[in-house]
Structure 1
Amino acid sequence: MAKREIAIIEDEQAIRDNTIDFLTRRGYSVKGFASRAEALSAFVGKLPDLVILDIGLADDVDGGFELCRELRSRSSTLPIIFLTARDSDFDSVAGLRLGADDYISKETSLPHLVARIAALFRRIEAMQEPQKPQQPLQRNDLRIDVDRLMAEWRGSSLQLTVTEFWMLHALVRHPGHVRSRDKLMEEAHIYVDSSSVSTHIKRIRRKFLEIDPEFAHIDTVYGAGYRWKP
């Protein structure tokens, strides 16, 4: 099996080299880039299997955010992780709203980072395994096709990330039932901090609202979780 390709975009060379060395010794094929422009130039022909981003890239203060936006526009399923010293709630919410799958502080140990990477790859592998075809799931005007990893609302495609797709799938499987944040993650087989779930739900809602301004089928049950309203 070919090695998984990981790209690290980090302007501090010592951090970049240390992370590359650690991940390489764990069996990954890793390339490092110091800037958004350098990374985009390398990604012209082919995207890597996973991207790790810092937010601030030298003088490009929000370069990681912009790169995340550009990469997500090219692929809704590319796993993207922010690894950054900017660990405020504002920045983490901003990163997840742009479509990142995970947001990790640089204070996190490298073994923990490897565990998060492995979890994302396990999810991708599970999606790619041959499975018995499933009938599309229909809820109200929502149609979810697990085999094609696609969701439609009133005939219009919802451009969901992998994390958003499985979270929505977990929610609509039990219409009317409240699903806690932990239960949503467990049933969707996703790997994010529980505090990030609300941000993903907000992104999912926004994508429905872009199609249907009167959409109101995802309820927040304060202190308990979320539910799909039939």
Structure 2
Amino acid sequence: MSRTIAIVEDDPSIRENYADALRKQGYQVTGYGNRQEAMRAFQTRLPNLAIIDIGLADEIDGGFEICRALRAMSATLPIIFLTARDSDIDTVSGLRMGADDYLTKDISLPHLSARIA
């Protein structure tokens, strides 16, 4: 069985770009465009890894809310923030609330793949 990855990203082109790259590496990837859609799916089944953007459409901290909810559901689920927000405050906040890694969107696909593997 392949590892399942959830990508929560409001920009469809970015979401599909990452999803396609990860699928080519054998991962089963599901994309979600907003917090509500992702949380409905996570109530049914958790992925093996969640990759989350912080700013989701009108919710500037929607990704932080997802991280809090996922951490309450599972203490061991790997969570990676993948976001354009690169301030120390955001990075430290994301890691303190339970994310396992915090990456900015300027990361290359090979680098992202290495972090996931």
Under a length normalisation based on structure 2, what TM-score does the superposition of the two structures give?
0.99
1:44 to partner: Cα distance = 1.4
1:46 to partner: Cα distance = 1.3
Q: How does 1:208-219 map to 2 (within 5 A)?
A: none
Q: How does 1:1-230 map to 2 (within 5 A)?
A: 2-118=1-117
How many residues are matched?
Answer: 117
Give the 3-state SS of the residue equivalent to 2:18 in structure 1: helix
User: Between Structure 1 and Structure 2, whose CA radius of gyration is higher?
Assistant: 1
Give the 3-state SS of the residue equivalent to 1:43 in structure 2: helix
Q: Which 4+ stretches in 1 moved above 3 angstroms?
A: none
**Match for 1:96: what amino acid?**
L
Instruction: Determine which structure has greater relative contact order: mean sequence separation of CA pairs < 8 Å that are 6+ residues apart, divided by chain length.
Output: 2
Once residues 99 and 84 of structure 2 are traced to their aligned partners in structure 1, the CA distance between those partners, rounded to angstroms, is 16
Under a length normalisation based on structure 1, what TM-score does the superposition of the two structures give?
0.51
Deviations 1:172-199 (A, max 9, x none): xxxxxxxxxxxxxxxxxxxxxxxxxxxx
Deviations 1:56-108 (A, max 9, x none): 00001100001000000010000000000001101000000110000001001
State the Cα RMSD in Å.
0.5
Once residues 102 and 60 of structure 1 are traced to their aligned partners in structure 2, the CA distance between those partners, rounded to angstroms, is 21
Once residues 58 and 110 of structure 1 are traced to their aligned partners in structure 2, the CA distance between those partners, rounded to angstroms, is 23
Give the 3-state SS of the residue equivalent to 1:108 in structure 2: coil
Once residues 106 and 65 of structure 1 are traced to their aligned partners in structure 2, the CA distance between those partners, rounded to angstroms, is 16
Once residues 31 and 4 of structure 1 are traced to their aligned partners in structure 2, the CA distance between those partners, rounded to angstroms, is 11
1:34 to partner: Cα distance = 0.4
Give the 3-state SS of the residue equivalent to 1:44 in structure 2: helix
Structure 2 unpaired stretches of 5+: none
